[in-house]
Homo-oligomer: A and B are copies of this chain.
Amino acid sequence: MVVRQNCENCNVLTKSFFSKLAKIDLLDLSEKKNCILYKKGQTIFTAGTRPNGIFCLNKGKIKIYKTGAYGKEQIIRFVLPGDILGLRSFFCDRNYTSTAVAIEDSLLCFINRQDFQFLLNKYPQITNSVIASLSNLLDEANIKITSLAQRPVRERLAETLLTLNKIFKPDSPSTAKHSVVTLSRKDIANLVGTATETIIRLLSEFKSDNLISIKGRKITILDLKGLNRIANL
């Protein structure tokens, strides 16, 4: 669904690559971009297809995953409001190597190749942000490689819950104190890199130890210190 969303009073402008744009360019960008509302579960792009520009997430959450040898998803990362989606493929000028799916209703702004290139030329400092962003993603990926190769599932799950605690932080911290994770057990398994059953068993252990509480599908994270101890970081 196509909607309107102005860049000049965007709620995530300060967090994004575009925070240093002059007002005139922000107004111009508002005209040129396309804002699309994706329903939970909808695919934004699929591995193997060609990128025509980049996305900027205004609202919602996106999961990015690769499909492994046996057709199983491996979740690579989450995209949060203010993040850019599709940078790597854009700069490599190659097809997407992973798939992006909304895990909540999400508002995405699409900026096509030419318009983004225009901004890159006018604001070379964006390039530095791109390098910094890719560098951070690369270091995070290397940390994950080390973790997957060396640490047991229990530790990785505890670590993942700590990450999810940040990702699912309540919007108004005053009212709700704890993060509530609304990912499916399967998604958590595809993030930790293990079988769904293993996640279910470990989550009920964590529940018995009062580290988390489980109400139906929702996981509330209660004891950060305890999870940190198990994560063994």
Which A residues are closer than 8 A to B by beta carbons?
66, 68-70, 72, 74, 76, 88, 91-92, 97-98, 124, 127-128, 130-132, 134-139, 141-151, 155, 192-194, 232-233
Contacts and interface: CB of A to CB of B under 8 A. Distances in A.
Nearest to A155: B69
Nearest to A133: B134
B91 A150 contact: no
B142 A66 contact: yes
* Consensus secondary structure, chain A interface: helix
Contacts of A141: 138, 141-142, 145
A130 B124 CA distance: 14
B131 A193 contact: no
A15 B155 CA distance: 42
A144 B233 CA distance: 21
Contact of A135 (B76, B134, B194): B134
A98 B68 CA distance: 27
A68 B149 CA distance: 9
Contacts of A155: 69
B134 A138 contact: yes
26 contacts: A66-B142, A66-B143, A66-B146, A68-B146, A68-B147, A68-B149, A69-B151, A69-B233, A70-B150, A74-B146, A74-B150, A91-B128, A91-B135, A92-B132, A92-B135, A92-B139, A97-B143, A124-B124, A127-B127, A127-B131, A134-B134, A134-B135, A138-B138, A141-B145, A145-B145, A145-B148
